[in-house]
Structure 1
Amino acid sequence: MKGFVTAGTLALAFVPGLASAAEPVCLTQAEATSLVAYALPQAINGTAKRCSAVLPAGAFLRQHGSELATRYAGQKDKYWPQAKPAFIKTLGADGGDAANLTRSLPDDSLRQLADVFVEGLVSQRIALKSCDKLDLAIDLLSPLPPENTAGLIALTMEVASTAEPQVGKIALCKG
């Protein structure tokens, strides 16, 4: 169970908007995978910032976090077209003025908003007591290409959404 909780924590760290939503946000497996793949560099940077004070000098994030984030960032452009609508969903921007404002932003501005949002929220929300487990999880996932890491995190989100007790407010749509 401890491994499952660590995987759930990692998934929530990578998709913080889902964890803070008032109502579960429904993303398809493809949307979740694209959003996570896009957000990985900022989530890694946010995790490294939050955890740097409590991790030992030899920790993976302290030694290789920025290198991994840079490697994953090289493919962000590829994931943005599918990540964009998923990101808007996680903000709860289904309708109304906020949705229209978010959707009307120029693409570059919306990407900057997504990047700042993910990194900032991750760096604020991670419990310091989970940093060692997140460091290990990121280290274990680091050899994978971003699409495999994102796919594994999306799968973890799917499993976590049906767990008892519930792990965050996440849900993957059926179909």
Structure 2
Amino acid sequence: MPDILRETGRVCAAQLPAASLIRRQSSALIDRYQIESDRAWPAARAAIVKLSDPAVDAMLDSEFARPLLTTLLVPQIVGRIATRDCGTIDRMVTLLQPLPPRNTAGIVVETLRYLKSQKSRSGDIAAVAMLLCPVETR
């Protein structure tokens, strides 16, 4: 997550004001996510081994494995960001900032599960968008 936040800030830099939370390459928010990321790595590593070939275990034991995985995965995730969505992403990160990283991760996972289930029911993500009220009408 800290690398995703940093890369999103880089991708969105031209779209957001300089004071934007997501544009900060170092902050208390990123520090908290880095600490949680470091703490979660052993469990994530074990899950990757479980989901793949046991031979991967020795490769993941290297100090280079995690940075390599991050280098491969972060661009895949952040590369899907449309710059027109940078403002929304910044607002979401700002709203989630006070939460502990574990809670934020849970919210993101549950939201993605929900959106996936709605998309599979309707066949179109636009139907999910109709469930949401614009901020101005609340």
What is the TM-score of this pair, normalised by structure 1? 0.58
Structure ID, larger Rg: 2
Q: In structure 2, what is the equivalent of residue 141 of structure 1?
A: 96
Query: Whose relative contact order is higher, 1 or 2, with alpha carbons under 8 Å and at least 6 apart?
Result: 1
Find the aligned partners of 1:88 and 1:149 in 2 and give their Cα distance: 25
Contact 1:87 1:114 in 2 (8 A): no
**Aligned pair in 2 of structure 1 residues 158, 123: CA closer, same or farther (>3 Å)?**
closer
1:66 aligns with 2:21: no
Contact 1:43 1:118 in 2 (8 A): no
SS at match of 1:125: coil
Amino acid at match of 1:135: D
1:105 aligns with 2:59: yes
Structure 1: which 4+ aligned runs deviate by more than 4 Å? Answer: 85-89
CA RMSD of aligned residues (A): 2.5
Find the aligned partners of 2:12 and 2:47 in 1 and give their Cα distance: 27
Counting matched residue pairs gives: 120
Percent identity reads 31
Q: In structure 2, what is the equivalent of residue 125 of structure 1?
A: 80
In terms of mean alpha carbon deviation, does 139-148 or 67-76 score higher? 67-76
Contact 1:47 1:122 in 2 (8 A): no
Amino acid at match of 2:59: L
Contact 2:4 2:74 in 1 (8 A): yes
Contact 1:51 1:128 in 2 (8 A): yes
SS at match of 1:46: helix
SS at match of 1:53: helix
Structure 1 position 46, deviation (Å): 1.4
> Which stretches in structure 1 are left out of the alignment for 5+ residues?
1-39, 168-175
Amino acid at match of 1:148: N
Structure 1 position 94, deviation (Å): 4.3
What is the TM-score of this pair, normalised by structure 2? 0.71
> Which stretches in structure 2 are left out of the alignment for 5+ residues?
126-138
Counterpart of 2:38 (choices 67, 72, 77) is 77
Find the aligned partners of 2:47 and 2:16 in 1 and give their Cα distance: 32
SS at match of 2:15: coil
Find the aligned partners of 2:88 and 2:48 in 1 and give their Cα distance: 26
Structure 1 position 56, deviation (Å): 1.9
Contact 1:60 1:135 in 2 (8 A): yes
Deviations 1:57-115 (A, max 9, x none): 232212x45212122101222211222255578xxx746xxx85x54414322211222
